[in-house]
Copies of this chain bind each other. A is one copy, B any other.
Amino acid sequence: MNFPSKLIENAVNEISRLPGIGKKTALRLALHLLKQKESVTEELTLALNALRKDVNYCQSCHNISDAKICSICASGRRDKSIICVVEDIPDVLAIENTAQYNGLYHVLGGVISPIQGIGPDDLKIESLLHRIMSASESEKVEEVILALPATMEGDTTSFFITRRLKEYGVKVSTIARGIPIGGELEYTDEITLGRSILTRVNYSAD
């Protein structure tokens, strides 16, 4: 594209570096900002700069936090004997939105992926072991739930963590996999359906 102005060209180039945004969408967003009041752009850029410069991560679970310890880890109402291990921050939000879990989290920051050059040392796995080891008697970790993606990389990471956790005597569980609620059998892929038969659970009609 030939842009009529250097300013719009720069803006479009910068916006289109964001994931999933191409040049056309970037141009649409830039022209949208031009049609709005100057304050809209100001507030957007202030919020982005503040986020990038002042963001903190919880020293315990590595979730985003405004304080050194995040509100979940610091809460007195959470069950500190369970830690749910997730790949990244959006997973914490997703599980929190279910309102079905009251334990703590541990954000790995990724999953093991030899293709992308991500090894165990690039993730917060040692930090998880340290958390379990150094927990006081009253806040002892009884169970680690692995809530990692159902991919080769996720499975590899689950396997690795499970092996490392063996010596600590904590129970290790993984979130259930199978047909989604509301899912039709005929539209479910063969691997999920096959696994869901192999890993069937007892049914109670109570």
- Nearest CB in chain B to that of A32: its residue: B19
- Residue A65 is within 8 A (CB to CB) of chain B in the complex: yes
The verdict on A34 contacting B8 (CB below 8 Å), with A1-B93, A47-B14 known, is: no
**Interface set of A (CB-CB < 8 Å, partner B):** 1-8, 10-11, 13-15, 17-21, 25, 27-34, 38, 40-45, 47-56, 58, 63-66, 70-72, 88-90, 92-93, 96-97
Q: Which of B4, B7, B70 contacts A63 (CB 8 A)?
A: B4
A-B pairs with lowest CB-CB distance, top 8: A45-B45, A41-B52, A11-B51, A14-B47, A14-B44, A10-B47, A11-B47, A5-B64
Q: Which residues of B contact A63 (CB under 8 A)?
A: 4
- A-B contacts, 6 of them at CB < 8 A, read A1-B93, A4-B64, A4-B72, A7-B64, A10-B47, A15-B48
Q: Which residues of B contact A92 (CB under 8 A)?
A: 4
Q: Which residues of B contact A44 (CB under 8 A)?
A: 14-15, 17-18, 45, 48
Q: Are B54 and A7 in contact (CB under 8 A)?
A: yes
- Minimum Cβ distance to chain B for residue A82 (Å): 18
A4-B71, A5-B56 known; A90 and B14 CB under 8 Å?
A: no
CA of A34 to CA of B18, assembled, Å: 12
Query: Are B51 and A93 neighbours in the complex by a CB distance under 8 Å?
Result: no
Residues of B within 8 Å of A54, CB to CB, are 7
- Chain B hits for A34, CB < 8 A: 51-52, 55, 64
